[in-house]
Structure 1
Amino acid sequence: MRDLFFAVWRYRYFILSSIRNDLHVRFIRSKLGGLWMIIHPLAQVLIFALILSEVLAAKLPGIDNKYAYALYLMAGMMGWSLFAETISRCLNLFIDSGNLMKKMAFPRICLPLIAAGTMLVNNFLLLVAIFVVFAALGHYPSGQALWLPVLIVLNLLLAMSVGLILGVLNVFMRDVGQVVPVILQAMFWLTPVVYSLSILPVKYQFWFKLNPLHPLVTSYQNVLVFDKPPLWGELGWLAVASVVLALVALTLFRRASPEMVDAL
């Protein structure tokens, strides 16, 4: 495991330059450039807000703003989009990089780190856009928003750990790549992003809270909208689980790495 960390340090400039090149190539032929990284999630928020705001706005106590539901939805989407996009990126990461892995000699662990760096840039731009929209709607997050970096790091750690495991498995079992999008779609509706758990019958709320993304997304909504602290109790267990998953992912990656090129 120590060799992986030394390899990352030796190739740190390669990782940073690859992140920059990845972002540049994705938008080099686009007139709007990097704006597309925030247009898509904000457009999704707008669609949901227009369709569901009249239904759910009256059921969001604690937000003194006529755009309460839009604020709630944007906060939840920020947490969800980082998780879902990271999983989707990691799922085909090694398959898409097959030719590069065959032609160049570099530590394979650089690939997920490049993906993580790209996701962080995307999420930062989305965060800036959301704060601008919040200000336009007359809502200004309190000091609780200073906990956002902690939530983002935990979110990325969880998503990269799960994504790395799925990415390795997808190299050898391509059915994984077909199943995961379906699971992500189901998880989106099982996570309180477009609704609040308070609107559900009490007997069902317990089961929805078993979703590991519940405390994470709810914490985003707490610090950005409700002026409340994150759900530290639940997040503590999630952090421990994320570290364990990260160790499992690195072990699996290390053992499978020599065989991945042949499988590709």
Structure 2
Amino acid sequence: MLGLLHGTWSYRQFIIDSIRNDFANRFARSRWGFVWMVAQPLAMVLVYALILSEILAARLPGIENQYAYAIYLSAGFLVWTLFFELLTRTLTLFIDNANLIKKMRFPRIALPLIVVGTGIINNGILFVAILGVFAALGHLGGSELLWIFPMTLLTALLALGFGLILGVLNVFIRDVGQFVTIVLQFWFWLTPIVYPLVIVPEEYRYLLQYNPLFPIVNAYQNILVYGQSPDLATLIPIALLAIGLLVVGLLLFRKASPEMTDAL
């Protein structure tokens, strides 16, 4: 474990340069690169808001803003876009970079760290854009917005923990990637992002405690929609889970690294 940390620190400039190059390649020959980065999630929010706002806006207690449902959606999508990007990119990370892994000597753990760095920056840009939309809709936040920073870190750790484990397994069992893609579709709809919690029948709400993403999404909604601090009692178990998954992922990665090159 200490060797992984030492290797990461030794190659920190490589990681930083790789993150910078990722953005440069993404925006190459595009005059509106940053616009397209946030346009897709915001367009998805707009589509859901136009279709479902009349049905579900009245189910959001405590919000008098006429654009309440769009605000609620934005909070949930901010979490999901980060989690989805980090998990899906890490899932195929080692396969996508097979040639790099075979031809260059560098700590392999740098690859998921590059993905995390890029994803957090992307999410930060989206967060700023969403705050601009909120301001235009007359929904300004206060000091509770500072909670977004630790919540972003928690989301990234959870996604990296899952992604690292599944990414290593996907090198040896390619069906893992296909299976996870299907699971994520169900996961999205089993998390109160598009619909409010009150729409879930009470006898089934206890099932949400088994969804590790639910407390994080709920915390984002409390912060951005209701201007409230998150409930730490519900987040501590998720933080412990994220750390546990990350430790397991790192141990699995370390043990499987010698065989990964041959499998790729």
TM range (shorter): over 0.9
Of 201-210 and 228-237, the range deviating more from structure 2: 201-210
1:75-113, Cα deviation, whole Å (9 max, x unpaired): 011011111111111011001100111111111010000
Query: What is the rounded CA distance, in whole Å, between the counterparts of 1:212 and 1:231 in structure 2?
Result: 14
Q: Which amino acid aligns with 1:216?
A: I
Residue aligning to 2:197: 197
Count of matched residue positions in the alignment of Structure 1 and Structure 2 = 264
Residue aligning to 2:153: 153
Residue aligning to 2:162: 162
User: Does the alignment pair 1:56 with 2:41?
Assistant: no
What CA RMSD, in Å, does the superposition of the two structures yield over aligned residues?
0.9
1:157-211, Cα deviation, whole Å (9 max, x unpaired): 0000100111111110000110111101101000010111112211111112321
Residue aligning to 2:252: 252
Q: Which amino acid aligns with 1:171?
A: V
Q: Which amino acid aligns with 2:76?
A: G
1:31-70, Cα deviation, whole Å (9 max, x unpaired): 3213222111111111111111010011101112000000
Query: What is the rounded CA distance, in whole Å, between the counterparts of 1:211 and 1:185 in structure 2?
Result: 14
Secondary structure of the residue that 2:138 maps to in structure 1? coil
- Where do residues 85-234 of structure 1 align in structure 2 (5 Å cutoff)? 85-234=85-234
Query: What is the rounded CA distance, in whole Å, between the counterparts of 1:36 and 1:209 in structure 2?
Result: 35
Q: CA deviation at 1:29?
A: 2.7
> Which consecutive residues of structure 2, in runs of 5 or more, have no partner in the other structure?
none
Query: What is the rounded CA distance, in whole Å, between the counterparts of 1:38 and 1:166 in structure 2?
Result: 27
Q: Which amino acid aligns with 2:12?
A: R
Secondary structure of the residue that 1:226 maps to in structure 2? coil
Contact 1:161–1:245 under 8 Å retained in 2: yes
Contact 1:45–1:77 under 8 Å retained in 2: yes
User: Does the alignment pair 1:78 with 2:78?
Assistant: yes
Query: What is the rounded CA distance, in whole Å, between the counterparts of 1:153 and 1:48 in structure 2?
Result: 27
Secondary structure of the residue that 1:40 maps to in structure 2? helix
Query: What is the rounded CA distance, in whole Å, between the counterparts of 1:187 and 1:200 in structure 2?
Result: 15
Q: Which amino acid aligns with 2:149?
A: P
Query: What is the rounded CA distance, in whole Å, between the counterparts of 1:171 and 1:80 in structure 2?
Result: 25
Contact 1:60–1:69 under 8 Å retained in 2: yes
Secondary structure of the residue that 2:225 maps to in structure 1? helix
**Percent identity over the alignment?**
55
Query: What is the rounded CA distance, in whole Å, between the counterparts of 1:59 and 1:43 in structure 2?
Result: 22
Q: CA deviation at 1:244?
A: 0.7
User: TM-score under structure 2 normalisation?
Assistant: 0.98
Query: What is the rounded CA distance, in whole Å, between the counterparts of 2:90 and 2:37 in structure 1?
Result: 17
Query: What is the rounded CA distance, in whole Å, between the counterparts of 2:41 and 2:162 in structure 1?
Result: 22
Contact 1:142–1:223 under 8 Å retained in 2: no
Of 126-135 and 192-201, the range deviating more from structure 2: 192-201
User: TM-score under structure 1 normalisation?
Assistant: 0.98
> Which consecutive residues of structure 1, in runs of 5 or more, have no partner in the other structure?
none
Contact 1:38–1:129 under 8 Å retained in 2: yes
Residue aligning to 2:239: 239
Q: CA deviation at 1:124?
A: 0.5
Secondary structure of the residue that 1:30 maps to in structure 2? coil
Query: What is the rounded CA distance, in whole Å, between the counterparts of 1:110 and 1:129 in structure 2?
Result: 29
Residue aligning to 1:261: 261
Q: CA deviation at 1:144?
A: 1.3
Structure 1 residue runs of 4 or more that deviate by more than 4 Å after TM superposition? none
